[in-house]
Structures are given as structure tokens and as C-alpha cells.
Amino acid sequence: MSPQPLLPSWVTWWQRPFPDANTLLLSGRQPALVDSGFVGHSEETADWARAHAGDVHLVVNTHWHSDHVGGNALLQARGAGIAAGAPEAEAISRRDPGCCAAEYLDQPVAPYTVDVPLDDGQILRLGKADWEVVRTPGHTPGHLALWQPEERLLVVGDALSDYDVGWVNLALDGPDAAATALASLERMAELSPSVLLPSHGPVPADSDAALAAALRRARRLVDDPDGAVWYGARRIFAFALMIRGGIPTDEVEAYLHARAWLIDAARLLDRTPEVLAAELTTTMLRSGAVVLRDGRVHAAAEHVPVAPESLRVPHPRAWPASEPR
């Protein structure tokens, strides 16, 4: 295994298994946190940040999926501000029912507000350095990266990892979502970062090689829309299994038939939801992505258990009105 690139002393990197995104802590007079993990582990996130840097002044979300914003509510209650890309910030402020795709994906997110909407090119003081906001839509329309030019550090969110690229939602975000994601990767490659800080997996030992591989993978999603739909469906289903400690075998198909994301995927693949649900389960069992154990279907990838009671938060359509702070 190649050694992890050295990071400045004021940068603390926490590589976390699913269902949490990796967490980046930037120490200084006003400590900042980039992404806040899954709601089921929000206490752990907040306690870790406080132990390493004191009270968090600002949380910056690369995007609004549940594994990136789950600690927002708790950290905000403890005094932190929340910053997010403008399109998602505006939807959060309006309390749009589709916020965080939480109901659509069946992934719980505790209610929060956004204090600082972020636009492309905006400069943020995070920790001991200035960072530039780089809009990188594709995985979500409001996805952003953070660029620190002196250290040549690039926070890439879910745009890429050492082994993958972010899935795209052709049903919600349109048929050009994969091309948009590819264009965002091309923009990031033009920055020639020395260190990539992804939201999942390790820090790549070779940034150029990781970006080149990501560009190839993203191009495949553009060239194969059906493959992109399958890729997203597998990722969403695996995450559902992770946060629920698996699903009883005899309940899996009913669970899938009721999911909006599966119904949309079936439409795009010209299948019925029933056929797609059966295919999805069968192919993931065959590949080893999911396993049968103790009468339940489980995700095979490494992940940390989630307490069932932590999932009991309202969907965004039932969030209280956003109060200006």
C-alpha cells in the first residue's frame, strides 16, 4: 500500500467507513468541518471534532446527501454555521420536499438550515487558509469542491475516489447528468492538485492517476446510460441495507417496490419495478455485493452499524420552517 500524502498540520483527515462520508477538520481560530457524516453517528462526529479542535465554527457541505449532512443539525444546535452550494442552500431554505433527496432515497436527514450559500469562485477562510469554492455539479446539481491553491489540496466530495466516481441520477437530474459530472472532473483535473481529498476511501497516493482513472470511468457512464442507471441503483440499495442492518429476506422485494428511485430506474431501463427489483437483488447476490445472513440481506461492503432509533427523523416535507439565524 502506498503511503498517504502528507497533509499540513492544521488539516485532520478522518477516513470513515460507510454509511459516513470522510470528515475533514481544518483547525484554526475558527475551526471548520467539511461534511458531517450520517445522522446515526452525529454525536460521534461532533465529539470527535470538539476533541481535536474545540467548537466547530462552520460546517461546509460538499453536497446534501445523507452521509454528508447527517451531523449538521446537532452541530448547528451547538453553535456551528452551515455552508452549502447555492442551489441546495436555496432549496433547504424553502423547505422543498425533495431536499437532500432524503425521501426519494429513503435516507434520513435531521432538519437543518443553511447560513452561508456558496457560489463558484467564492473564497472561504477555513482553518488557517483561504479556500476557493469550485462548482462541480453532476453527482448532485449543487455539488462543490474546495481548492486550496498554496498547498494544492482539492476536496472533491463524491465526484471521485481512489476506486470510483460518484453515481448520477438520470431520472431526477436529467439525461445530461453524466456529461455534467464528466465536465466537472475535467475542470478539477485542470487544477493539477497535489492531493485529492475524497469523501469515501483513502487519499489517493497519485492524484494524476486517480483523476485519469476517474475520467475514464465517468466517460463510461456518459456512453452507457443504462449502465449509469444500474450503477446508481446498486449504490442506493447497498446504502439502504447498511443503515438498516440488512432487510429481512422476505421483505426485500416489497421494500424495493415502494421506492421512488427504483420505480424511476425501472422506467429508464424499460422494465417493471417488480422485474428490476428481482434482477437487482439477484445480480448483487451473484456478484457478492450483498449477502444472505441470519434471514436478512446485508450489504457486503465494510460499514458501521446504525442504531434504528437514530433513523426516526422527519422527511423534509415535515421539517419545521427555516428560521433565519
- pLDDT at 2 exceeding the cut of 60: no
Summary mean pLDDT of the chain: 97
- pLDDT at 324 exceeding the cut of 80: no
Mention the CATH class of domain 11-223. alpha beta
pLDDT confidence tier of residue 317, bands split at 50, 70 and 90: very high
What's the pLDDT score for residue 217? 98
Block residue for cell numbers 466537472: 184
Reduced to 3 DSSP states, what percent helix, strand and coil does the chain have, rounded to the nearest 5?
40, 20, 40
Block residue for cell numbers 498554496: 150
**Would you tell me the crossing angle of helices 273-287 and 260-268 to the nearest 10 degrees?**
90
Alpha carbon distance 306, 224 (integer Å): 34
What's the pLDDT score for residue 3? 66
> Which residue type sits at 27?
S
Percent of the chain with pLDDT over 70: 98
What is the DSSP annotation of 157-200? ETSB-SS-B----HHHH-TTHHHHHHHHHHHHHHT--SEEEESS
Give how far the C-alpha of residue 272 lies from the chain's centroid of Cα atoms, to the nearest Å: 28
Reported as type and span, the H/E element at residue 24 is strand 23-26
- pLDDT at 6 exceeding the cut of 90: no
- pLDDT at 305 exceeding the cut of 90: yes
Q: Tell me what the mean pLDDT of segment 210-237 comes to.
A: 98
- pLDDT at 7 exceeding the cut of 80: yes
What's the pLDDT score for residue 322? 83
Q: Where are the domains of the chain?
A: 11-223, 225-311
> Is the whole-model pTM more than 0.85?
yes
Q: Return contacts of 305-311, CB within 8 angstroms, 24+ apart.
A: 305/245, 306/19, 306/38, 306/40, 306/41, 306/242, 306/243, 306/244, 306/245, 307/40, 308/244, 308/245, 310/39, 310/40, 310/42, 310/108, 311/39, 311/40, 311/108, 311/243, 311/244
